[in-house]
Amino acid sequence: MMNIKVIAFDADDTLWVNEPYFRETETAFCALFQDFMPLHSAERELLQTEIRNLPLYGYGIKGFTLSMIETALSITGGTLRADAVQRILELGKELLARPIELLEGVEETVVTLKERYRLVVATKGDLLDQERKMKNSGIDHHFHHIEIMSEKAEADYRKLIRHLDIKPEEFLMIGNSLKSDVLPVLALGGHAIHVPYHTTWAHEVVDHAIEHEHFRSVTSIREILPLL
């Protein structure tokens, strides 16, 4: 990885805690409708609704909240009460108000790497929400550029790499999602390091092993420094 000029970090569940908050909210949502459907069935229904709505709403808490309301309408057969809608909206707002909790080792790793590389954040999600998280993280000033993407496909990374005025082989992506942070970058000729997180959204799961000369996997973000 000696040719690396730019290192990009995913944000949610790479720099700070995110997915566990969604799962807590999901559990609270499903508990509202236990009289209509078992928890595991409601979870499956919500996931299907979320995935179906991704082309319309994209990623983020606002789309998640709308998907909760739609799922609740389906579960209740269209008899959803106004107070239940109010509670779902409160769950969404509570999720938006969650404090930013940096993952262990993040700040010292970022501070060390910025001495040798241009650092960027490449994350997907709702623009306003991700901007708020970056600002509240306290580490936004360490990054040369912040890219908030609606999707993380090859075309999106190609556009980012072109904007950074580098070659794909000079780009390293670090993240917790094999689907979003690793596979598209490797396909372009870039480098990727996977930092697994203990909770991963089902939509981001990849069920096959990755063997590639530009790919590494670590158990902690601190293990990145010796690799570089």
Among 15-29, 32-46, 199-213, which is the least confidently predicted range?
199-213
Tell me the pLDDT of the chain averaged across its residues: 91
Tokens 């069920």, located at residue: 207
Over residues 34-64, the pLDDT tens digits come to: 999 999 999 999 999 999 999 999 889 999 9
Query: Which stretch of DSSP H or E encloses residue 59?
Result: none
Distance CA 206, CA 204 (A): 7
Give the side-chain half-sphere CA count within 13 A for 17.
13
Instruction: Look at residues 80, 95, 129 and name the one whose alpha carbon lies nearest to residue 25.
Output: 95
Q: Is the pLDDT of residue 204 over 70?
A: no
Neighbours of 174 (CB within 10 A): 26
Q: What is the pLDDT of residue 1?
A: 59
Over residues 99-111, the pLDDT tens digits come to: 999 999 999 999 9
Q: What is the pLDDT of residue 203?
A: 46
What are the residue ranges spanned by the domains of the chain?
A: 6-16+101-227, 19-96
Fold of 19-96: DNA polymerase; domain 1 (1.10.150)
Q: Quickly list DSSP for 166-189.
A: --GGGEEEEES-IIIIIHHHHHHT
Q: What is the pLDDT of residue 162?
A: 96
The pTM assigned to this predicted structure is 0.88
* 6-16+101-227 CATH choice from 3.40.50.1000, 3.90.180.10, 3.40.50.720, 1.20.150.20: 3.40.50.1000
Q: Is the pLDDT of residue 138 over 70?
A: yes
Query: Which stretch of DSSP H or E encloses residue 34?
Result: none
